[in-house]
Chains A and B, each alone.
Chain A
Amino acid sequence: MRITQGAFSFLPDLSDQQIHEQVQYCIDNNWAVSVEYTDDPHPRNVYWEMWGHPMFDNPDAAAVIFELNECRKQFGDRYIRIIAFDSTPGWESIRLSFIANRPKEEPGFNLEREDVKGRSVRYKISSYSAQKPEGSRY
């Protein structure tokens, strides 16, 4: 099952050229771009591992692509996303986040229904891959 998180995730995977252009757009807006990765695809897992520091003072997207490729070398079998952090208005927030790399196979989620008080149902999802220990999931 294809994970859809962040922007563009219903589109086919972006090519490097397209990622480059998206990142350049972020940089031109003075957003700090950084690369993050994870092997836990649960939608509530919002804190991914940082790959290096956020890049505050690189005027060109090539630097981000360079880091993305470095990250792919080591964690090519995990999810890698690019996030753009906007600090310009005073509040600090993520403006854009999209997945730039995904594992070859995405086993998807198990949906569990649980009957609780009366006839109400509680739902629980857990990703199949996250049942394995961290680092050996994909």
Chain B
Amino acid sequence: MEEEVPADKFVEKIDLNNELISSGVAEVLDQLDKELIGLEPVKTRIRETASLLLVERARKSMGLATETPTLHMSFSGNPGTGKTTVALKMADLLHKLGYVRKGHLVSVTRDDLVGQYIGHTAPKTKEILKKAMGGVLFIDEAYYLYRPENERDYGQEAIEILLQVMENNRDDLVVILAGYTGKMAKFFESNPGFRSRIAHHIEFPDYSTDELVNIAETMLENQNYYMTKESTVALKEYVKLRREQPHFANARSIRNALDRARLRHANRVFKTQKGEVGADTLSKIEEEDIRASRVFKGGIDKDLE
């Protein structure tokens, strides 16, 4: 869809650093650095990808490159490691670099793509693909599209349409597949078509305990809460214990834990405070709000998992 640049309009020299700032990419990368705690390998990969795309763009303006590079990606990592958040940033980045026109993110799962009966899948998948054009299509838990145990499953149809559009409309949309590492590997094994069409495989590592505590502090700060020193220590212990227990979902578990701590905080304030309360009391998370969690007694909070 892009118009051909006539040969005499090619640029001769480009200052890459200037380009980095003027395109707004530098800003997104800085934001990424600031807002996302940990995830070093991911950030490095994104930086690398961004510089590749920037160089590619510079080459294009000089008339050296003609093809759009393959931008489809796969994000694999455990639950709660920030895949969706990074995908949002990626969409922004690609938009600023001019590789997608609108830069919106359409996040879908199997249910949005696969139909219920014969003939339902193709229009459904196409509808979603059209919605995502000009932006990024983020398919969460992509491996559920493929169900080897049921050969009449309609997922296969969705995969075929997806592959076709990924190949033919490369200028129009970027597809990001996301999911847990092991299952993703299996999915790619059984769908070699996907593997070869995806250029960037990005691995999301688990967060360390300190990073998770850091994340918790940022989350609370955004909600205008804060933790005392003792409660930070308690939270650290909590993370260590929680990690050993089943269904640990990194940042998501932390968010849930904080929601429960806020609940206990509200209850405590309600019970203990007589008369008027100040802003400080209403925003201070005490040690006991965290220590009351069932995790410390050796069990997960059943009602909330």
Please report A residues at the B interface, Cβ cutoff 8 Å.
16-17, 20, 55, 57-63, 65-67
Contacts and interface: CB of A to CB of B under 8 A. Distances in A.
A63 B130 contact: yes
B49 to A, nearest CB: 22
B130 A20 contact: no
26 contacts: A16-B1, A17-B3, A55-B130, A57-B131, A58-B133, A59-B102, A59-B131, A59-B134, A60-B133, A60-B134, A60-B172, A62-B1, A62-B101, A62-B130, A62-B133, A62-B169, A62-B171, A62-B172, A62-B173, A63-B129, A63-B131, A63-B134, A65-B1, A66-B130, A66-B133, A66-B169
B130 A59 contact: no
Nearest to A55: B130
Contacts of B200: none
Contacts of A60: 101-102, 133-135, 172
A57 to B, nearest CB: 6
Main secondary structure, interface of A, reads helix
Given A58-B133, A60-B102, A66-B172, 15 more contacts: A17-B1, A57-B131, A59-B134, A60-B133, A60-B134, A60-B135, A62-B133, A62-B171, A62-B173, A63-B129, A63-B131, A63-B133, A63-B134, A65-B1, A66-B169
Nearest to A56: B131
B236 interface: no
Main secondary structure, interface of B, reads loop
B104 interface: yes
Contacts of B3: 17
A20 B133 contact: no
B104 A59 contact: yes
B133 to A, nearest CB: 4
Interface string B95-128: 0000001101000000000000000000000000
Interface string B157-177: 000000000000101110000
Contacts of A62: 1, 101, 130, 133-134, 169, 171-173
A58 B131 contact: yes
A59 B135 CA distance: 9
Contacts of B104: 59
A83 B286 CA distance: 61
Contacts of B129: 63
A16 B169 CA distance: 14
A109 B133 CA distance: 41
A67 B130 contact: yes
A133 to B, nearest CB: 29
A61 B173 CA distance: 12
Rank and list the top 4 A-B pairs by shortest CB-CB distance, nearest first: A60-B134, A63-B130, A62-B133, A62-B172
Contacts of B134: 59-63
A60 B95 CA distance: 13
Contacts of A65: 1
A101 to B, nearest CB: 17
Residue among B104, B129, B130, B172 with the highest chain A CB neighbour number at 10 A: B130
Residue among B3, B129, B134, B135 with the highest chain A CB neighbour number at 10 A: B134
Nearest to B173: A62
A27 B131 CA distance: 12
B135 A58 contact: no
Nearest to B126: A66
A55 B130 CA distance: 9
Residue among A20, A59, A65 with the highest chain B CB neighbour number at 10 A: A59
A61 B135 CA distance: 11
A58 B1 contact: no
Contacts of A58: 130-131, 133
Residue among A17, A55, A63, A67 with the highest chain B CB neighbour number at 10 A: A63
Nearest to A63: B130
